[in-house]
Amino acid sequence: MYRIAKEFQFSASHNLTTLPDGHPCRRVHGHNYKLEVELVAAELNEHGFVREYRDLDLLKTYIDECFDHRHLNDVLDMPTSEVLAKHFYDWCKERWDEVAAVRISETPKIWAEYRP
């Protein structure tokens, strides 16, 4: 199985309103997110690729227009990393059959991944 990945970055704020009062993530705060989309294929295409990396520029456009420097509560109902990972997975899978997983990091030490 061939596996490729591409990383994207964006900055955004959110607050997790279902958490108890006093929890720091209940307050509005921001992250410099890293999003990684992973694609897999058993065979390479006629160009020797799983998928041309430039095809994924469409994801960068979507991130820039809808997520970068936004308050994520205005974009998604529950903007946890887990929900973001599933949202981006679904968006990517509609466009590219080879998508296998999406991973999103809020900080260098934590990440969430959606992989069916």
- Edge-first strand listing for the sheet containing 29-41: 70-71, 2-14, 29-41, 99-107, 110-114
Q: Do 30 and 12 form a contact (C-beta atoms < 8 A)?
A: yes
Which amino acid belongs to residue 105?
A: S
For residue 31, say whether it is annotated as part of any ligand binding site.
yes
For residue 47, say whether it is annotated as part of any ligand binding site.
no
Set 25, 36, 66, 113: catalytic member: 25
For residue 29, say whether it is annotated as part of any ligand binding site.
yes
69 is annotated as an active-site residue: yes
Helix (H) or strand (E) holding 92: helix 81-93
Set 7, 69, 71, 82: catalytic member: 69
106 is annotated as an active-site residue: yes
Catalytic residues: 25, 69, 106
**Which residues make up each annotated binding site for Zn(2+)?**
14, 29, 31
**Which residues make up each annotated binding site?**
14, 29, 31
